[in-house]
Structure 1
């Protein structure tokens, strides 16, 4: 007999019983408005259980998680469990109008899913409009009892969530920019665990401090929960050993700078080996495209035990915002562990060979200031949200909600990263691409320079993918595939299309349902850079989508 820790409505309850391999972990999320001044300026924000960032979900590999979400705010919302595979539990995935209708004010919904063969760090966030600016938190999945990490066991583990802060009401700002057909305002500050640090115009009394002891090794679980900012993350005079990204173990490598995009997670070991003192922690933005960004740096401190109160700060060099070489060095160093226990099961034979362009365009708009609206598209299709969820319409065979004719290739060929076409208008539609159950997919995503080239962090719901290749310029289907890594490519759920370049991914469509693919820059998702895969049922109930739960929200 031994004690098993069970989390119920965020209160830790200890009970002793028979040893089991997995548990059912219950949480209660109450979404409400809170008057917050932690970051930069006082305002009402949406929070979960009154916390910003929200509460952390703790579980182990193969545990079942049940979260009751009650909406006591004044806005529709959903919650997405970013990176959770959701094997045959698509009804719990969470993107609004893709797998469910929103939870309306005063209503609730129970999310029920199992963390099948997953361990590491993920995140949860709202998946309706820009609400995830303040409605987000961490998911920490420990290995099964008795299963060690494939790296030295740390002394302690710390979660660090990077984010953005707007002084104004985010939803009002987005609605106004949509009406005007213009880009929304950039954020007023970046945050580390809800605090911006010392930022001009932000009267904050304190920031986040990471307390350490000399000679100890710490595992940092770093999450980028920002809406529109890629980050460089550094700790003065300290190095990181990267051991995991997006809840997938990696071959360890050392670096003094972490690059992390919205929706991505990175686990890094840090050894407290420097003299006792106070060291700057910095999260600074990356952007190598000619677009507006919040170029302020969020700061925090690593502080050694017994550091004198007025000890001077040890500073660090902040990378320039356009340090593309630094981002490439980091991403190129990522490799799957590919061990006997954690093999990299890269599909070697491909059933669907897809080529998607991603970028920004301009469409006519009678109500907009300049008569046009900025839009975004995949294969020149700007995705239109339906009025009922795609998963419901698929399950119940409701006609007229979507079509399954999403193009496997761009509608016309041009120099994608060179001279843009004279016509930069996109088409509108609610289209999905249909995949046979257990078929294999290779997808090349190509950035375009229709308005301006830009990097895009793309997130695929319901799957992990292997990044088998990446490069600059236009993808060459004859030559570029020769350099693909089919042995130990990194495995992720959120992956970056480089500025003026391409990325190639592979995955197996072994999860029936409807799965969203979209840019995790919220501005681009809002403009329509999104589509969905429809994975058909296989044979028998174990390869089929089960019926929806009885409390599934209605539109």
Structure 2
């Protein structure tokens, strides 16, 4: 492997971690549910990569972390043992957690974090979902190394796929390699310090031969294939900062699913995938036997946007028997793998069309999209500034302010002063902290959201910079049909925004470039077969319209999956109220639910019972 790991101070612990990691399946008749169990030991290890030793935080000493493979209908138990120096939670990205918001894994939103030397067991069922999802730490910065695939197979086996049964299924996780302290990097972003960037991009934890140290090219991911066979690539973008283009020279993909929802298959030679998204794509080994580069290229907004270091990486598709050819023909031109022609690094239109090609395979299930809309929200995404001291300060390129990310000109304030998560406060009817504010339905000021003149500091953007921080909350009646239009802006940047909603899927009814115009754009909505996603990419200098049914009671995170936008405050909390029955209401927290703060303080349940007693 290109990166070799060494035990840190906890050598014995990590040996135990690798040993105790296990998968238990209770043998039941075909099509019945099983119980899947894992142990995740979170620890720090030293890894040597690119000729430098770096301390990283891992699950069971693996990068990427363990793959969880289940069948639809299974129950999942994951025991998380935190032997790292950080507070940890694990989010099961895309798993709906119906009536089980308690294990969604967002610190101080759904649970108190798992503190160092403590543990917590996540237990949940996975019903009505098939395909590729993933899990990751919901801790600023740390999901770069704390992540893994979460694969849900059909209850009746691979023969029930709505596409030809593949010869093999292969997770392909695109990520980053950081030579920095990730927790410190995330903390610096809250202070307006942007001095750390990834040193490389990775495919399944390998940096690939674009990178070398001591004059030796580094190992890359190799996919061995047999001529004529079909492979299902389960592609995940676990990177912190970048959307990626993925291509394989001499081959095309057939896209069959996105975010664990089947799509009408379409053929393409390039896959565009933003942080948080997953794409299932069929690859047929139909090229002349040989070696073909697989390249993952991060894209970024064109000038005048700020340009940051972005590194492509590559692995290889190698046909069976090709190793014999290499031994017999070393040094000849036939040994050189074929490389794909990649899009330009500033090409954003390829991503726009790729995402626009996604439509749902199952039409009948999306008659929901045609229902009456109960709530309309228009959410403008951008950057702004707050003063370091007081309400008034110099704006523009000033040292008096701090840059933040916003929704409708408000930046999210993490409720760190609370002694309980927002979910418990909601469940036990305890008032939220004083910074809580209802998320505005629309921005306070309407302007030309995609005006290029707003990207650099100047008189235009300085008028729009001032903002403030609050714990943004939006409450929905159970069963409400909600429409949200997300509008990207050019406020201090012109980037895209991958927006992720916990606990629900979203139907993408439209997307467009420029400013959203309801008169012109609503008639073009796709209410027949809109693609269903848990993470939607708001285009660079464009907009996207989604609908979802608020039918999962609890407190759910909605945020941008670019780490810098998340840390800087492009976040809101959605509260879905209980329905009229037990089956539509959130049950009480599990018995092992972690508590925050001192043990001498009452738990939320005790607080609730005491308040009820005092009322009587």
TM-score of the superposed pair, with normalisation by structure 1? 0.94
Number of the residue aligned with 1:389: 421
Confirm or deny: 8 A CA contact 2:247 2:296 kept in the other structure.
Answer: yes
Correspondence for 1:494 among 513, 521, 535:
535
CA distance in 2, matches of 1:40, 1:549: 46
Q: Secondary structure at the match of 1:482?
A: helix
Number of the residue aligned with 2:439: 406
Confirm or deny: 8 A CA contact 2:90 2:136 kept in the other structure.
Answer: yes
Q: Secondary structure at the match of 1:346?
A: helix
Query: How far off its partner does 1:177 sit?
Result: 4.3
Query: How far off its partner does 1:14 sit?
Result: 6.8
- The verdict on how the C-alpha distance between 1:16 and 1:499 changes in structure 2, with shifts beyond 3 A counting, is closer
CA distance in 2, matches of 1:184, 1:517: 27
Query: How far off its partner does 1:199 sit?
Result: 3.4
Q: Secondary structure at the match of 1:11?
A: coil
- The verdict on how the C-alpha distance between 1:369 and 1:554 changes in structure 2, with shifts beyond 3 A counting, is farther
Query: How far off its partner does 1:88 sit?
Result: 0.5
CA distance in 1, matches of 2:366, 2:319: 38
Q: Secondary structure at the match of 1:327?
A: helix
| Correspondence 1:207-222 to 2 at 5 A | 207-222=220-235
Greater per-residue helix proportion: 2
1:266 aligns with 2:279: yes
Number of the residue aligned with 2:199: 188
Q: Secondary structure at the match of 1:42?
A: strand
- The verdict on how the C-alpha distance between 1:200 and 1:440 changes in structure 2, with shifts beyond 3 A counting, is same
Q: What runs of 5+ residues in structure 1 fail to find an aligned partner?
A: 1-7
Number of corresponding residues? 546
Query: How far off its partner does 1:12 sit?
Result: 4.7
CA distance in 1, matches of 2:130, 2:595: 33
Confirm or deny: 8 A CA contact 2:23 2:37 kept in the other structure.
Answer: no
Q: Secondary structure at the match of 2:493?
A: coil
CA distance in 1, matches of 2:218, 2:351: 33
Number of the residue aligned with 1:373: 402
Correspondence for 1:328 among 349, 352, 369:
352
Q: Which moved more, 1:117-126 or 1:107-116?
A: 107-116
CA distance in 2, matches of 1:16, 1:489: 38
Number of the residue aligned with 2:53: 42
1:77 aligns with 2:88: yes
Number of the residue aligned with 2:6: none
Query: How far off its partner does 1:330 sit?
Result: 0.8
Correspondence for 1:243 among 256, 279, 295:
256
Query: How far off its partner does 1:338 sit?
Result: 2.1
Confirm or deny: 8 A CA contact 1:209 1:300 kept in the other structure.
Answer: yes
Q: Which moved more, 1:448-457 or 1:348-357?
A: 448-457
- Residue-by-residue CA offset, 1:310-366 (whole Å, 9 max, x unaligned): 4221111121111122112211111100256x6564242100011111111122125
- Residue-by-residue CA offset, 1:182-226 (whole Å, 9 max, x unaligned): 334221110000011123455664221000001101000000000
CA distance in 1, matches of 2:108, 2:370: 31
Correspondence for 2:315 among 272, 293, 300:
300
Q: What runs of 5+ residues in structure 2 fail to find an aligned partner?
A: 1-18, 391-396, 455-459, 597-616
Q: Which moved more, 1:376-385 or 1:445-454?
A: 445-454
TM-score of the superposed pair, with normalisation by structure 2? 0.85
Correspondence for 1:353 among 359, 376, 385:
376
CA distance in 2, matches of 1:284, 1:477: 35
CA distance in 2, matches of 1:123, 1:314: 31
1:554 aligns with 2:589: no
Bigger Rg, which one? 2
Number of the residue aligned with 1:516: 557
1:231 aligns with 2:244: yes
CA distance in 2, matches of 1:284, 1:72: 35
- Residue-by-residue CA offset, 1:104-131 (whole Å, 9 max, x unaligned): 0111111111112000000100001111
